[in-house]
Amino acid sequence: METSTKDRILDTTAAMFRRYGYTGTGLKQVVQRANAPFGSLYHHFPGGKEELGGEVIRRSGKMYEDLVMAIFASGATLEEGLANVFSGAAAVLRETDYADACPIATVALEVASTSEPLRKATVEVFDGWIVAATLRFVTAGISETKARDLAIGMIAALEGAFVLARATRSTEALEVAGKMSLLALEAARG
């Protein structure tokens, strides 16, 4: 138990955001689950829920970027890596009873029309993903403009498949989205 109170609060909030969303996550529940006194929350995050939320979005977003990019780089070929991203996401969903998909998608939709600071935090995350994925495609020899489209298409397909998969409790959409992304890659390679 060497984690700090602040880290426990951040980790707990991240886990709750993923399943219950932003408005669905209560600060009292957070400190209870994190085994932290209520006052510590406002000591570490004077800006309250919005400040905590912003840090969690950026932190979860970066961690997920690292995870996905590692899987993306895991394949022997670019195609294999791309396929692994979708099959890996499907495996995690099945293992977590369709709870753990994108860590910020629910929150991103919730705050898009309700909090500018939080919306901007989600944009930073998505931009980071797009840049990272674009770089991967470019490194594999694809032109900059095509690479960006592939990156955005892959992320959109993944996010959309997550919506369908979490609702239906099936990974069918992830398999279809994976195949569709591979097709786009094929076309870009010409």
Partner DNA sequence: GTCTATAGAAGGATAGAC
Partner DNA sequence: GTCTATCCTTCTATAGAC
Q: Which of 157, 152, 161, 159 is nearest to 133 (CA)?
A: 152
Q: Which is nearer to DNA, 38 or 74 (CB)?
A: 38
Q: Residue 127: which residues within 8 A CB-CB, separation 6 or more?
A: none
CA distance 177 to 87: 10
Rg (CA), the chain: 18
Cα 190 to Cα 78, 80, 153: the distances in Å are 15, 17, 17
Q: Which residues make Cβ contacts (< 8 Å) with residue 80, sequence separation at least 6?
A: 74
Is residue 19 within 8 Å of residue 93, measured between CB atoms? no
Q: List residues near a second copy by CB under 8 A.
A: 19-21, 23-24, 98-99, 105-106, 108-110, 112-114, 119, 122-123, 126-127, 149, 152-153, 155-164, 166-168, 172-173, 176-177, 179-181, 183-184, 187
User: Which one among 1, 39, 77, 190 touches DNA, defined by CB under 7 A?
Assistant: 39
| Interaction partner, residue 70 (a second copy, DNA, none; CB < 5-8 Å by kind) | none
The CB-of-83 to a second copy minimum distance in angstroms stands at 15
- Which partner, DNA, a second copy, none, binds residue 65 by CB below 5 to 8 Å per kind? none
113 binds, among DNA, a second copy, none (CB under 5 to 8 A by kind): a second copy
Of residues 15 and 36, the one with the C-beta less far from DNA: 36
Pick from 11, 19, 21, 27 the residue near DNA by CB under 7 A: 27
Count of CB atoms situated within 10 Å of the CB of 2: 4
What is the footprint of DNA within residues 43-102 (CB under 7 A)?
43-44, 48-50
Phi and psi at 115, nearest 5°, equal: -150, 110
Residues near DNA (CB under 7 A) are: 5, 25-29, 36-40, 42-44, 48-50
